Amino acid sequence: MRIIHCADIHLGSKMSTHFTPTQARERQNELLATFGRMVDYANENNVNVILIAGDLLDTDSGNLRASEYVLSTIRANPSICFLYLVGNHDSNSLILAGDNLPKNLFTFGKKWRSYEFGNVVITGIEIGKNNNIYNSLVLDPNKINIVTLHGQEITGQKKDGEVINIDALKGKNIDYLALGHIHSYKLAPLDNRGVYCYPGCLEGRGFDECGEKGFVLLDITDKIDYTFIPFASREFVEVNVDITDAITYEQIKNKVLSSISGIPKENIMRVYLTGTYTTDTQKYIDTLSTELSHNFYFLQIIDRSTLVLPQKDYSKDISLAGEFVRLVKSSNLPQDAQEQILYYGLQAINGKEVNE
């Protein structure tokens, strides 16, 4: 049999960070559409079960469209079993609020609950703040055991809150521990028998969720094969570009272009300018952002380069420039503000056009 293990889809997220209202709306729809595409993938690849390990919704309620979309999709695919464990974001999920749930939608509760598919048993529990779940988990060693939980992994030490004590789940006959809560893919050994896995989210929602996102496909015969399937419609990508040797606008632009070439244009990009610059550097960031933003769905340039003053000892220089540098450096302004003022001020004193 085949199972999709996904989690942390956060349907109904506002997606408004970084984006215009139009783009945010588009990303909200993409999030729903990617869930729909995953169900299509399940159909096309003979997947029997979609196991959702928590945080399917971004909030319990308030997003009627996301809830109705999910319920409608589940009803339209009666040959797939949807096992939905709620997480900390959707513990009172609106999807489960109605009386008339789809017949192919199954849930978990505050006590361990198992679903059997031949030799495969999927067992889960809503942990909430309950730290006392481990002793009551008893699994048949002769079955293929998948256990699902939502929370932050910890080892050893006691800690309150929605945490999963990995050590306490060792030696429990678990073959695959299907987790949710961490938004990046992670697969690690559990014990001599099993592994534990966070699939990560389906779509990144910000630059703290960079890189490939997707779900895990489990192919089960007498053992489990697991494959991470990248599935996001866009990725958040961050790139560092060292501009130390670039002086002209064109040189900086070419450095940025060569660093981002090959990155698909549908991605959501952030370019950090790093290294050093001088008062001669043509660092016209607004112009560069505008020019390059046509190359990507979204592109943002953040300047982290630092100013290197000309090889001149301004501390005793009897000139307007010397007086200016001493005045700025003796001020209480933060380092980056001082650099900005010195950059533009020295350009002005040297008779250059001051941009930005």
Binding site residues, Mn ion, CB under 5 A? 55, 87-88, 181
Residue with smaller CB distance to Mn ion, 59 or 305 = 59
What is the 3-state secondary structure of the chain? CEEEEECCCCECCCCCCCCCHHHHHHHHHHHHHHHHHHHHHHHHCCCCEEEEECCCECCCCCCHHHHHHHHHHHHCCCCCEEEEECCCCCCCCHHHCCCCCCCCEEECCCCCEEEEECCEEEEECCCCCCCCCCCCCCCCCCCEEEEEEECEEECCCCCCCCEEECHHHCCCCCCEEEEECCCCCEEEECCCCCEEEECCCCCCCCCCCCCCCEEEEEEECCCEEEEEEECCCCCEEEEEEECCCCCCHHHHHHHHHHHHCCCCCCCEEEEEEECEECCCCCCCHHHHHHHHHHHCCEEEEEECCEECCCCCCHHHCCCHHHHHHHHHHCCCCCHHHHHHHHHHHHHHHCCCCCCC
Residue with smaller CB distance to Mn ion, 208 or 225 = 208
What minimum distance in Å lies between the beta carbon of 7 and Mn ion? 8
What is the 3-state secondary structure of 291-338? HHHHHCCEEEEEECCEECCCCCCHHHCCCHHHHHHHHHHCCCCCHHHH
Residue with smaller CB distance to Mn ion, 32 or 52 = 52
What minimum distance in Å lies between the beta carbon of 88 and Mn ion? 5
- Tell me how long the chain is: 356
What minimum distance in Å lies between the beta carbon of 162 and Mn ion? 7
Residue with smaller CB distance to Mn ion, 91 or 278 = 91
Instruction: State how far Cα 136 lies from the chain centre.
Output: 33
First to last CA, the chain: 60
Supply the Cα-derived Rg of the chain in whole angstroms: 27
What minimum distance in Å lies between the beta carbon of 181 and Mn ion? 4
Residue with smaller CB distance to Mn ion, 164 or 269 = 164
Residue with smaller CB distance to Mn ion, 166 or 269 = 166
- CA–CA dist 151, 214 (Å, integer): 19
- Closest-by-Cβ residue to Mn ion is 181
Residue with smaller CB distance to Mn ion, 146 or 179 = 179
What minimum distance in Å lies between the beta carbon of 73 and Mn ion? 21
What minimum distance in Å lies between the beta carbon of 211 and Mn ion? 19
Residue with smaller CB distance to Mn ion, 162 or 339 = 162
What minimum distance in Å lies between the beta carbon of 87 and Mn ion? 4
What minimum distance in Å lies between the beta carbon of 6 and Mn ion? 13
What minimum distance in Å lies between the beta carbon of 241 and Mn ion? 34
Residue with smaller CB distance to Mn ion, 196 or 314 = 196
